[in-house]
Copies of this chain bind each other. A is one copy, B any other.
């Protein structure tokens, strides 16, 4: 690094994004991107991406769920679910079982192997978040959780009302 660059780095980092910090959306994006990137790195050794991790969690919690239902929970389209489930099935973590009452649909189930994978992944992400948010006390983390949930709900409300 040359002198000019060093000097620039050394300067008190003038808050050049002052005009943006007033917005919740901006701060949310910054925080989200930080967390998301690390999450991906945490899951990679387990052969999971954030999307497949989430899908695995939902199928764990709702055995027999259909792909359409899964798409609603995850807020993605049915066509997007296909590749996610393909991925999990290829990894041997979930299987598509036929539904007796509807030959179009599949009932998604987590395999033994998938169940163990989930346990490892859950523990990994828990440990990861604990490390990531060491600067926040436990009650603060809970407060953040609750505010995020309520913010999402409020936003959803407003949008659906003003539709």
Task: Give residues in A with beta carbon < 8 Å to B.
Answer: 8, 14-36, 38-39, 50, 54, 57-58, 60-62, 65, 69, 73, 75, 122, 125-126, 129, 131-136, 140-141, 143-145, 147-159, 162
Contact = CB atoms under 8 A, between A and B. Distances in A.
Contacts of A15: 61
B125 A154 contact: no
A136 B144 CA distance: 13
Given A73-B17, A135-B150, A144 B24 contact: yes
Nearest to A66: B8
B141 A158 contact: no
Classify the interface of chain A: helix, strand, loop or mixed.
Answer: helix
Contact of A61 (B18, B75, B135, B158): B18
Contacts of A16: 58, 61-62, 65, 69, 73
5 contacts: A8-B69, A24-B35, A34-B151, A132-B154, A134-B154
B132 A155 contact: yes
